[in-house]
Structure 1
Amino acid sequence: MSRISDSPHQPSEQGELSRRGLLRAAGGLTAALALGGSAAALAGTTASAAPSTFTHPGMLHNAGDINRAKVRVAAGTDPWLSGWNRLTANSHSQSTWTNRATSVINRGGSGTQNYPQLYGDIAAAYQNALRWKVGGTEANAVCAANILNAWSTTLTAIDGDADRFLAAGIYGWQFANACELMRDYDGFDLAAAQDMLATVFYPMNNSFLTNHNDACITNYWANWDLCNMASVLAIGILNEDSAKYDQAVTYFKSGAGNGSIEHAVPYLYTDSDGYALGQWQESGRDQGHTVMGMGQMGAICEMAWNQGDDLYSYDDRRFMKAAQYVAKYNIGDDVPYTTYTWGTGQNCASSSQTVIASGSRGQIRPVWAMLHFHYNRRLYLDDKYISAMYYDLVAPEGGGGDYGTASGGYDQLGFGTLMYAK
């Protein structure tokens, strides 16, 4: 299918200011938040370079997100209170959580598969950090800091088969996000975390994005690129490293692998109601991994947004079209599908998927609040299918520990109802 223009439900951005330009003109992020992130005025052309001054907190959550959640929860207002109740009921958010830091994490291959220790502890650090930021409880801050400090001073390597690159990507961006929430807490060793992420996680992220484990460039699914891009971006923000930030943003726009935006969303359509849709690269594989992709790309877009770059709207809102497509299919509606063909292995042997996959259709993951509250509440766009997925099937969102014990239940940090509702 050829590229299409915005549907009638997605107004043109022509002539609008860039998000970063608006932030600078208005006096920075605080001024933009005071404007309420209003409509499409924040959704223009994306800047290509790292910010001259990094915003903190500025990954999945900015200061406005945190303050809004704090005020609304204290007032007992829904849906924030329902999101807060999901957080406090989660076993990972308890201040009694004890870390299980170890020097070498294995995912895949013949070694002991101990990577659940890491993703469980990251979920606990993040959830305790949220409880401290929103609820103000010191015990949760102490717990989060202890978890992050232990891993920062203990972890030296991530091992395994090719899956080690998934671990380096997913747990890299998640660990950095927990650190970002704790960066102003006296008991947290920010320098140790920055060093560990730069020396243990980043080299693996960079290796994968550069060499793809010596495989054909199209061999690995979009999520492999996306999680490693997210890790590079998050480490760039945490460490205020402009080169890493730029590396991730550049790959999002023009990278050779399946995680870059045009490769992740290869075909575009308009449905009978006039909504723009974009076929996701993993749609012929299964829906669990497809929905995972919404969370991984969503995390990249949200982190960049909080530093002044609007990747959400990049390439004519191509990601929104993909999210609408994925949501529409997963709420039970039909979507168009174009045969997807790619090269596999080291020799790029051809493989094809001729129909959309129904496996794990309707799987619930906490990825939709972020997308709905951005497109519908920040930009006032009609996100019919995303909204239906969120309100009818997902809300209020939980986090790690609420969606099963397997790794897929921890691929997202979650709690979007609490942190993104507007």
Structure 2
Amino acid sequence: MTRLRPLLVTVALSLIASTAVLFAAPPSTAAPAAFKHPGVLVNKAQLDFARQQVQSGAQPQTAAYNAMKGSSYGALSYTPKPRAIVECGSNSNPNNGCSDERNDALAAYTHALLWYFTNDDRYAKKAIQIMDAWSAVLQDHTNSNAPLQTGWSGASFSRTGELIKHTYGGSWAQRGRFENMLRTVYLPEVRNGAGCKNGNWELIMTDAAIGIAVFLDDKAAFDKAVSIWRGRLPGYVYQTTDGAWPKAPSTCSSKDTREEIVAYWQGQSTFSNGLAQETCRDFGHTGWGLTAATHVAETAWHQGVNLYGEAGKRLTDGYYFHTRYETGTAVPSNLCGGTVKLGLGAVSEIVYNHYHNRLGQQMPTTLAYTESKRPAGANYFFAWETLTHANNPR
């Protein structure tokens, strides 16, 4: 026992230090003096590590890379379908360019990644072709889903532009036009949040806003995105330290009574750590909200702003709460009337990478769920995250 004591003390001190880093890191409050590029969702060190893994045949990156390269998004024959006005109603009905724009943005990002992994400039040129096609004609997003549609597509387009601008040395003659499209068509639609809409809207919009801000080196837009995130996350994922019921998001001041909050939280009146505002709607939209929140924190992390630390247990509890039901835990009667709509999606790779691989936190339930979804594909506004973030703490 005497011999074990020093070891136990060392382990205890290590755990204390890890916990201090995780939950007590002093928050950065503003954009960096200079943005780091590439630094929208992924940085160069992560990309270099992932490329090395693929070149050596390591898993799970190699399977993820093969899935990406073999997807329709990665075909060099891919043809964009731009239009001047993208009209998207509720549930994308009407769908006048909505699916086309989302798919083109995902294809552009896919080709940007393929460029980096292969050094084949045909992929960079295809990414540029897609971006140029849209920047030549797009004027506006309209109808009720316009802010969400702008968030979905703007998130992928900002990542694409960031990678091509900062890793490709070839010609991109219309880069200024693409930058202007993000600045004048996309950013005004997403930068001020979504008010009292379901939380996945605002988080997805903020994901796009922070990506555009970094790509454009726009410090004011970056600070605005961080502020929106800080006001929304406590209004999306509950912690018992919030009080007897969840807080209202900062952009939704009309929800100021318990009854209004319960109605906003899909009628759920029993609250526990990790419950989300859309849990009792369905896990699919909840997964979108959680992963968009994580994307914002990841981009901020690359820019020296530790939103992960500010989130504390809120993010990890949110993922644990939902992945445990996805992996077989019985649903209690006081949660959504005893029935939930599963289908969280492949949304947990990045959060697991940060809290486990960077900070050493044990997350076995989230890990089991993450591994069951590998290799993660592409959907709406997230793509190939097993490739870029699995076991990749850079």
Closer/same/farther in 2, CA of residues 301 and 334 from structure 1, 3 Å limit: farther
The alignment-based identity, stated in percent, is 25
Structure 2 portions without partners, runs of 5+: 1-11, 242-271
- Candidates 201, 208, 211, aligned match of 2:186: 201
Tell me which residue corresponds to 2:177: 192
Closer/same/farther in 2, CA of residues 51 and 357 from structure 1, 3 Å limit: farther
Residue correspondence of structure 1 range 290-369 to structure 2 within 5 A: 290-334=286-330, 355=337, 357-359=339-341, 361=342, 363=343, 365-369=345-349
Tell me which residue corresponds to 1:235: 212
1:180 aligns with 2:165: no
CA distance in 1, matches of 2:57, 2:115: 17
CA distance in 2, matches of 1:279, 1:41: 21
1:88 aligns with 2:65: no
Tell me which residue corresponds to 2:233: 261
CA distance in 1, matches of 2:103, 2:338: 32
Closer/same/farther in 2, CA of residues 119 and 50 from structure 1, 3 Å limit: same
TM-score (norm. length: structure 2) = 0.81
Closer/same/farther in 2, CA of residues 41 and 365 from structure 1, 3 Å limit: closer
TM-score (norm. length: structure 1) = 0.76
Counterpart residue type for residue 97 of structure 2: N
- If each structure's helix is expressed as a fraction of its own residues, which one has the higher value? 2
CA distance in 2, matches of 1:394, 1:228: 25
Tell me which residue corresponds to 2:259: none
Contact 1:286/1:357 (CA < 8 Å) preserved in 2? no
Structure 1 portions without partners, runs of 5+: 1-7, 17-39, 255-259, 270-275, 340-353, 400-409
Tell me which residue corresponds to 2:377: 398
Contact 2:210/2:225 (CA < 8 Å) preserved in 1? yes
CA distance in 1, matches of 2:66, 2:338: 37
Contact 1:13/1:43 (CA < 8 Å) preserved in 2? no
Counterpart residue type for residue 59 of structure 2: D
1:167 aligns with 2:149: yes
CA distance in 2, matches of 1:168, 1:119: 9
- Candidates 78, 86, 93, aligned match of 2:59: 78
* Deviation (angstroms), 1:358: 1.5
Aligned-residue Cα RMSD (Å) equals 2.5
Contact 1:69/1:80 (CA < 8 Å) preserved in 2? yes
Matched pairs, number: 344
CA distance in 2, matches of 1:97, 1:147: 9
Contact 1:62/1:306 (CA < 8 Å) preserved in 2? yes
Closer/same/farther in 2, CA of residues 337 and 158 from structure 1, 3 Å limit: farther
* Deviation (angstroms), 1:334: 3.9
Contact 2:326/2:344 (CA < 8 Å) preserved in 1? no
Contact 1:283/1:356 (CA < 8 Å) preserved in 2? no
1:417 aligns with 2:394: no
Contact 1:102/1:155 (CA < 8 Å) preserved in 2? yes
- Candidates 62, 75, 85, aligned match of 2:43: 62
CA distance in 1, matches of 2:67, 2:24: 31
CA distance in 2, matches of 1:309, 1:192: 29
* Deviation (angstroms), 1:277: 4.1
1:383 aligns with 2:360: no
Closer/same/farther in 2, CA of residues 304 and 357 from structure 1, 3 Å limit: farther
SS in 2 for 1:226: helix
CA distance in 2, matches of 1:357, 1:172: 34
* Deviation (angstroms), 1:324: 1.2
Contact 1:264/1:280 (CA < 8 Å) preserved in 2? yes
CA distance in 2, matches of 1:15, 1:381: 9
Tell me which residue corresponds to 1:140: 123
SS in 1 for 2:58: coil
* Deviation (angstroms), 1:187: 2.9
